[in-house]
Structure 1
Amino acid sequence: MNVKRMSPARDNQRSALRTPAPHVARLRSASPPSVPPLSARERVKTATDFVSAALMLVPALPAILACIALVRLTSPGPALYTQSRVGRGGRVFTLYKVRTMHHDCERLTGPQWSTPGDARVTPVGRVMRKLHLDELPQLFNVMKGEMSLVGPRPERPEIVKKLREAVVGYDRRHAVKPGITGFAQIHLPPDSCIRSVRNKVAYDRFYIRSRSLGMELFILGATALKVIGLKHLYYRAPRVPTE
């Protein structure tokens, strides 16, 4: 079937994603789930990801340091920050990013998705987000074996708790390591509502069923084209078969 892009309905978005502090505490204190061992294919991909991430860090490190300096000069608070995300098998890990929002901006609201024109994003952060420079520190997550270069994007535990209840089959995207980029990310805009998540999950599950070396290389190439504003060179509405 054709997966149609849904219009981003934002009604009740903020209330749907808020999680009271006690729930957050229970999520973080829970024992990590048992994760099945990697298959031979996945071990090869992990090794390839490690080497690729190490090589990419050579040119990426100066860019990361420049972003850190810009954030420190233009916005109070730490330049790098960590965030809990849900990875393979539902295990929570710590993700690294360059800060693009005002420090501690979710203190009163709790975890929320970013929206177009989000006032929490700093002017420098807006540029870094457009160029995806804030994601570069996740190369360290790849080298640690927590992420892959390509895979479903990891979400925060507080939001995953809500999405598991609202989206059928949501946890199936946790069958593989999350990625810095993915099949859903090169075709669809960021999550903005439950309907957009259902669409993303369809793409993620299609990737998990169909992944191959050719598909991984296509996603990496398409990501590079998207970053430099040439998405039209690869974009087409993909056909995602029913299960």
Structure 2
Amino acid sequence: MLILGRKYKFTKFEKQRLKKKNIQTTIVRYTDKESEEVLKEIKQTLKKRKSKTIVLNTKATVDDEIIKYLTNLQFTQNISIITIEKFMEKYLEKCYIPDDHKDLAYLENIKAFNTFEYIQKRIIDYIGAITLLLISWPILLYARKKIKQQSPGTSMFKQLRVGKNNREFKCIKFRSMRLDAEKDGAQFASENDPRIFAWGETMRKTRIDEVPQILNVLKGDMHFIGPRPERKYWIEQFEKEIPYYNERHLIRPGITGWAQVMYPYGANAQDAKQKLMYDLYYIKYWNAWLEIKVVWKTILIVLGKKGV
């Protein structure tokens, strides 16, 4: 694929995902270049590498001659043209979010579940939560024992998290850090975090620490699948850089979710924005098949102990 411009810059993680899908990309920069130079580079690139698709990824006004050339390619070389927004949804399964906050038209397509969809979600919630409880109860007992051995104290804890419509609820989790983990205030977990004990690290990688949230699902605070429930403190921090971050609270959070299986643990606001792109995609394109994909990917993560 030939990508015109760098309005959105692909992350290393996204490049790896595209490579796994056998999608090769060549970027032709548009900024600070004469249109003749850009057109020449496009022609040279298409001669060297046969592209089936051209991705429009530029903020700049495209020159008339370039538009004519690109339009004719659809007929002469059977090359399709797609915007970066459509490209990301089709190939990366996430929603594009602009950096400059000038074009927020995409937000109109992000809506809460309607009544029929919500009923389907609650049926999935009960089936998923009860099935998980029946399968995992020996693991829950073992996890509780291991926590007591490696970090004496309460094995589970309740922490306020933000749910649907920005309402806080008490989220139940297995404790994976030592009791004084936040004596200096809230902070993100980092790689090789000294606050996390050995079994706690295993639980985080396999998502075992999230399993007690079954109770939150049955109570109605959460869905079985949805955006990760976050703390109000971090949401307030994220909103300073991502003012539309609260869009993810149109629906209830989940034990597992599309962002959680598609992106590694986050450590900053940029990671939060990347995860938000997946959350918005999940809300926008929700269906039963997407639910199945999340469950399957979650199982692979648990069995493989992978962070994504």
Structure 2 length-normalised TM = 0.61
Matched, 1:146 2:217: no
- Look up the SS of the partner of 2:169 in the other structure: strand
Letter paired with 2:275? K
- Give the conservation status (yes or no) of the 8 Å contact 2:173–2:213: yes
Counterpart code for 1:159: W
Q: CA RMSD in A?
A: 2.2
What SS does structure 2 have at the residue aligned with 1:137?
Answer: helix
In 2, Cα distance between equivalents of 1:46 and 1:112: 33
Aligned position for 1:135:
210
Cα distance in 2 for residues equivalent to 1:163 and 1:223 = 26
Superposed counterparts of 1:1-243, under 5 Å: 4-5=10-11, 39-107=115-183, 109-229=184-304
Q: CA deviation at 1:66?
A: 1.1
Distance in 2 (CA, whole Å) between partners of 1:66 and 1:90 is 34
Query: Is the CA contact 1:164–1:170 (under 8 Å) kept in the aligned structure 2?
Result: yes
Q: Alpha-carbon deviations, 1:188-217, whole Å to 9, x = none?
A: 111111111111111111111011100110
- Are the counterparts in 2 of residues 5 and 199 from structure 1 also a CA contact under 8 Å? no
> TM-score w.r.t. structure 1 length?
0.77
CA–CA distance in structure 2, aligned partners of residues 216 and 94 of structure 1: 25
Checking the alignment, whether the CA contact within 8 Å between 1:6 and 1:195 is kept in structure 2 is no
Identical aligned pairs, as a percentage?
32
Aligned-pair distance for 1:178? Answer: 0.5
The residue type equivalent to 1:155 in the other structure is E
Distance in 2 (CA, whole Å) between partners of 1:37 and 1:152 is: 14
Alpha carbons 2:206, 2:301 under 8 Å: kept = no
**Secondary structure of the structure 2 residue equivalent to 1:93:** strand
Q: Deviations over 1:14-58 (max 9, x none)?
A: xxxxxxxxxxxxxxxxxxxxxx99723213311331232112211
Q: Match for residue 26 of structure 1?
A: none
Letter aligned with residue 303 of structure 2: I
Q: Render the CA deviation track for 1:95-122: whole Å, top value 9, x for unaligned.
A: 1111110012102x21111011000000
TM-aligned CA deviation for residue 5 of structure 1: 3.3
Whole-Å Cα distance in 2 between the matches of residues 230 and 74 of structure 1?
A: 20
Question: Which segments of structure 1 move beyond 4 Å, counting only runs of 4 or more?
Answer: none
SS of the residue 2:238 aligns to: helix
Alignment deviations for residues 102-155 of structure 1 (CA, whole Å, 9 cap, x no partner)? 012102x21111011000000111122222211110111111111112111011
| Cα 1:77–1:164 shift into 2, 3 Å | same
CA gap of 1:2–1:213, structure 2 versus 1, over 3 A, is farther
SS class of match (2:298): helix
How far off its partner does 1:60 sit? 1.4
Which secondary structure does the structure 1 equivalent of 2:255 belong to? Answer: strand
How many Å separate the matches in 1 of 2:292 and 2:168? 27
SS in 2 for 1:81: strand
C-alpha distance in 1 between matches for 2:125 and 2:9: 29
